[in-house]
């Protein structure tokens, strides 16, 4: 299953080891699912994770190492067509564009409401727990 992770799932998974978001992060690169990213999305991940250092406990080098790993195992997708605006937040549009361009089956997010129009492209919106259930892992 090819998916895009919303930035909020990364932050949530790095804040606590007890939730579904952390379980998803733990499965990146294991073959349980495929992850799609774009250069702008990785830059957004980096920006948010560096700003959230006080809650995640990660230093800038840790963020860099994490994102290097994510990029090494993810499908890197170029964006040739912008589908904006799809949501109230332009950062969410960036996630949606990766999902459309890569032909993803789902966006995994805590913000289902913000991505509503993406369903018109046949892309599912799943909360982290729902996604774990879909891939046969216990949330």
Residue 93 vs residues 107, 110, 121: alpha-carbon distances, Å: 12, 15, 13
* DSSP assigned state of 77: -
Reply yes or no on whether the pLDDT at 89 is more than 70: no
CA atoms within 13 A on the CB side of 38: 23
| Residue found under tokens 């998803």 | 24
- Of residues 105 and 89, more confidence is placed in 105
Average pLDDT of the segment spanning 110-118: 84
d(CA 28, CA 55): 21
Average pLDDT of the segment spanning 86-107: 84
* DSSP assigned state of 102: H
Q: Name the pTM for this structure.
A: 0.91
Reply yes or no on whether the pLDDT at 77 is more than 90: yes
Q: Which domains does the chain have, with CATH numbers?
A: 2-134 (3.40.50.1010)
Residue pair 67/45 in contact by the 8 Å Cβ criterion: yes
d(CA 93, CA 116): 11
d(CA 10, CA 109): 9
């Amino acid at each position: 299953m090819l998916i895009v992770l919303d930035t909020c799932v990364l932050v949530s998974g790095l804040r606590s080891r007890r939730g579904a978001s952390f379980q998803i992060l733990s499965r990146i690169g294991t073959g349980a699912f495929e992850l799609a990213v774009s250069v702008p999305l990785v830059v957004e991940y980096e920006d948010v994770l560096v700003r959230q250092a006080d809650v995640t406990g990660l230093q800038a080098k840790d963020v860099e190492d994490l994102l290097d790993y994510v990029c090494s195992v993810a499908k890197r997708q170029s964006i040739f067509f912008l589908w904006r605006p799809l949501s109230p937040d332009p950062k969410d549009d960036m996630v949606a564009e990766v999902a459309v361009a890569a032909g993803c089956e789902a966006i995994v997010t805590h913000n289902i409401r913000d991505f509503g129009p993406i369903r018109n492209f046949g892309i599912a919106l799943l909360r982290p727990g729902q996604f774990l259930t879909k891939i046969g892992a216990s949330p």
